[in-house]
Amino acid sequence: MADSINYQLAKFVASYGKVSQIPESTCPEVSFVGRSNVGKSSIMNKLFGRKNLVKVSSTPGKTSNINFFEADDVHFVDLPGYGFARRSKAERDRWAELIGDFFDSERSFNLVVSLVDIRHDPSKLDHDMIDYLQGNEFNFIVCLTKADKLSRTQQARQAAVIKKQLNVPAENVIITSSQTGVGIDELKKRIAEACL
Ligand SMILES: Nc1nc2c(ncn2[C@@H]2O[C@H](COP(=O)(O)OP(=O)(O)O)[C@@H](O)[C@H]2O)c(=O)[nH]1
Ligand SMILES: [Mg+2]
C-alpha cells in the first residue's frame, strides 16, 4: 500500500438514515464527530481539497444522516452534529440513537476525529462524546477547530486548557483551521498512520 492517501479523487458514496442500512466495512474508516457548526464539513472539504463536496450548512442544526465519502479506498464518515440548542427532543433522541448504533456496530473504526471549537470550553456533550471514545478505547484524536479566530498565544493557552478539561493525552490533540490550513498536514499524517 502507498504511504499516503490520495485525496484528489474524493467522492460522495452514500447517505444513510439508519445504521442498519450501512453495508459492512470494506475498507479503513475515519469518522468525524462534533457539535453542529464546529467545522466538520469544512475540515473534510479541506482534506479533500474541495470547496463544497461536503455541504457546509447555512442552516446549522439540521439533523442529518450519516454520510459516507471515499478517497483512495478509505472511507470518511460525516456523522450528524450534536448540541444544536433549538433542536427538539425527538431530534436529539434520533441523534443519540444514530450515534449510539453507529459506534456499537461492528465496523472498521480506524480513527475517530472529534472536533471541538478552540474558542470555547468543551460542552457537556463534547465531554460525553470524548469520554465515550476514551472509555471504549477508540483510536481518536481531537481537532481544535477555527484556530484562525485566535492569536497564536491564545491558541496555545486554549489548547492547554481544553486538553486538561477533556483529560486527553497531549499528542491526541491537534490545532486546526480549515481557513488557513493549519494542522491539516498533521491530520493527514494521523489518518495515514491509522489507515495504511
Ligand atoms: N474562521 C473559520 N470558520 C470556519 C472554519 N471551519 C468552519 N468555519 C465556519 O463555521 C461554519 C460551520 O461550518 P461547517 O463546516 O458547516 O460545520 P459543521 O456543522 O460542523 O459541518 C461555517 O460558516 C464555516 O464557514 C475555520 O477553520 N475557520
Ligand atoms: Mg456539516
Nearest CA to ligand 1 atom 28: 146
Number of H helices, E strands in the chain: 5, 7
- Whether 122 shows a pLDDT value over 90: the answer reads yes
132/79 Cα distance (integer angstroms): 15
pLDDT of residue 35: 94
Q: 153 and 122 in contact (C-beta within 8 Å)? A: no
Percent of the chain with pLDDT over 70: 96
The model's confidence at residue 44, banded by pLDDT at 50, 70 and 90, is very high
Nearest atom in ligand 1 to 44's CA:
15
Give residue-wise pLDDT tens across range 126-162: 999 999 999 999 999 999 999 999 999 999 999 999 9
| Element holding 140 (H helix, E strand) | strand 140-145
**Residue 189, phi then psi, degrees to nearest 5:** -65, -45
Residue 177 Cα to ligand 1 middle (Å): 9
Beta strand pairing call for 29-34 and 173-175 = unpaired
Does residue 146 have its Cβ closer than 6 Å to ligand 1?
yes
Q: 159 and 175 in contact (C-beta within 8 Å)? A: yes
Residue 1 Cα to ligand 1 middle (Å): 33
- Whether 61 shows a pLDDT value over 70: the answer reads no
14, three cell numbers: 452514500
Does residue 128 have its Cβ closer than 6 Å to ligand 1?
no
115/40 Cα distance (integer angstroms): 7
